[in-house]
Structure 1
Amino acid sequence: MNKFFLFIILFAALISCAKKEEFKESIIKEKSLDLQVLEAYQEGMKNLESGDVIYAAKKFNEAEILFPQSDWAPKSALMAAYSYYTQDYYADTIAELERFLRVYPLSKNLDYVYYLLGVSYYEQIVDEKKDLQSIIKAKKYFEILIQNYPNTNYSLDAEFKIELVNDTLAAKEMYIGRYYFDKKKWIPAINRFKTVIDNYDTTLYAEEALHRLVEVHYILGLKDEAKKYANLLGYNYQSSIWYEKTYSIFDKKYEENIKKRKKEKTKKNKTLKKIKSLFSLDG
């Protein structure tokens, strides 16, 4: 009985010692792993500062993979994306950020992720006639940011950039609308100009779009419809050059009178200059 009891005590002691040793070994390994992660992260930062962004991103990815459960993992993933962004590697930046959203959907830095995604597409916009995909994606991510994280500095800048994006989209619609107008394809032209009025009424193209709608409907003989858009243009933009052009459609003498007044003003200015020269010291 005593032998059995001693065996039980020894067995328990061995198990306890084994657990203690295992625990100590686990702590050593964890510390070693943390150190490796930190070294990889620091090397990534060093190379980012020196301009070697490809190698920097590689080291940040390495830090993430070494300890994916640590707090360093999402930070490293985000730094990898930022490294690519600093040298305009937009495709790599976007790929890293989209992966980040899949792997870390509860990250506290999602506002920055959406902002950087929007900016990565936004900065690829060169021509409104060609870069439609970048325009749409930029607007999409900026809108997600504004909707979900409204009280951030990123959101404020996103609102400003959306205004510029809308200007670009309106410019595209106007470009196509003018093309249809020149080709006398009235219905497609009307649809494009209406899109500007309906979706981008705060842009600088809204005035011209209203004027073009007046023109098209007047040409088609739909004078009541033309007057409707003319009244809308007059109510909102009475002092604009497009209102003057619209007014001249209904009053052909109006444009002639404007030209006549400009000539008279020019003539008056010349006369005043002549009179002034008579009384100058040089005269």
Structure 2
Amino acid sequence: MKFAGIVGAKHWTRIACVAFLSTVPLALTACQSDPDIDITKLSAETDPPDVLYNQGLANLNAGNVSEASRKFAAIDRQHPFSEYARKALVMSAFVNYRQGANQEAITAGQRYLKLYPESEDAAYAQYIVGLAYAKQIPSVTQDQRPATQTIEAMQAVVTKYPDSEYVEDAQTKIRFARDQLAGKEMQVGRYYLERKEYLAAIKRFRTVVEQYGTTNQVEEALARLVESYYAMGIASEAQTAAAVLGHNYPDSEWYADSYKLLQSKGLEPRENAGSWISRAGKALIGA
């Protein structure tokens, strides 16, 4: 088959079955240059579910995504209690995702999980939900609710289906979403820091260090803590933040800048073991 996309070969074989290869005419394998037109030329309202399903697969394989979607939707409408309705629903989730209809993909995936939570394709449906949320993650200047939803959906893949083929990518999406959430905290923290609202800034940078210590935002967060505490005259905390930064990221430019800032007042990095920064530092990515 020329269809690949995000469905793995093993998964595609499981969904499509041998029926697809045996019932779709050989003529359907020829390439067509027309836009998204139904290559099966059969009624989606009256055909039996197995025929509609294979027509949907044939259209999908030919790149006619919207027609494939119409076939799978027809099964849901006309044959809701058939075995093919189950297969068509998970394919509808995928096709909607493929078309960029993320909310529709989420709805279809969640409906599948509600109806068939123990099926062999439940992991894939959960993964599609996570992918659809991930596609909606905006820049850090905007509301990061989709990032939180991505983490929840992909964590379900990891937790509920630990042996599935989707776990590795789910973990990658979780890391990306967490980095976005940390980036949002940094953006707000810098906003307060620029306005010399140091306590509000420290609260945001502390969130990054304590909750998002495995993200790539933590170096700057520590450096901004040095800057914030230094500006407030709390030398011990500034020195501790610099020491933790230097211990975990000794070659970081953020550490070089923090070290220079402390030296401008005759100070140097020195860790206070009783500080929250010291406790949090033991769990950082570079520890």
Q: Which TM-score band applies after superposition, normalised by the shorter structure?
A: 0.7 to 0.9
Task: Tell me whether 1:108 sits opposite 2:120 in the alignment.
Answer: yes
Task: Tell me whether 1:191 sits opposite 2:203 in the alignment.
Answer: yes
- Alignment partners' CA distance in 2, 1:83 and 1:239: 46
The match for 1:216 among 228, 232, 235 is: 228
Distance apart, 1:253 and its partner CA: 8.6
Q: Which has the higher helix share?
A: 1
Task: Tell me whether 1:176 sits opposite 2:188 in the alignment.
Answer: yes
In structure 2, give the amino acid aligned to 1:83.
Answer: V
- Alignment partners' CA distance in 1, 2:92 and 2:251: 52
Does the residue aligned with 2:82 lie in a helix, a strand or coil? Answer: coil
1:280 equivalent in structure 2: none
2:219 equivalent in structure 1: 207
Q: State the Cα deviation string for residues 224-282 of structure 1 (Å, max 9, x = none).
A: 1112212111211122111111111221299xxxxxxxxxxxxxxxxxxxxxxxxxxxx
1:138 equivalent in structure 2: 150
Q: Bigger relative contact order, structure 1 or 2, given CA contacts below 8 A and separation 6+?
A: 2
**Preserved CA contact (<8 Å) 2:93 2:125:** no
Aligned length: 221
- Alignment partners' CA distance in 2, 1:98 and 1:209: 37
**Preserved CA contact (<8 Å) 1:78 1:97:** yes
Distance apart, 1:131 and its partner CA: 4.5
Task: Tell me whether 1:47 sits opposite 2:88 in the alignment.
Answer: no
The CA RMSD measured in Å over matched residues stands at: 2.0
2:133 equivalent in structure 1: 121
Distance apart, 1:95 and its partner CA: 1.7
2:108 equivalent in structure 1: 96
**Preserved CA contact (<8 Å) 1:166 1:200:** yes
Distance apart, 1:172 and its partner CA: 1.1
**Preserved CA contact (<8 Å) 1:57 1:81:** no
**Preserved CA contact (<8 Å) 2:49 2:82:** no
Task: Tell me the TM-score normalized by structure 2.
Answer: 0.72
Distance apart, 1:220 and its partner CA: 0.8
Distance apart, 1:125 and its partner CA: 2.0
* Structure 2: 5+ residue stretches without partners: 1-46, 267-287
The within-5 A match list for 1:1-283 is: 36-252=48-264
Which of these two proteins has the greater Rg computed from alpha carbons? 1
Distance apart, 1:78 and its partner CA: 0.8
Does the residue aligned with 2:177 lie in a helix, a strand or coil? Answer: helix
- Alignment partners' CA distance in 2, 1:78 and 1:176: 39
Does the residue aligned with 1:152 lie in a helix, a strand or coil? Answer: coil
In structure 2, give the amino acid aligned to 1:123.
Answer: K
In structure 1, give the amino acid aligned to 2:160.
Answer: N
Distance apart, 1:109 and its partner CA: 1.2
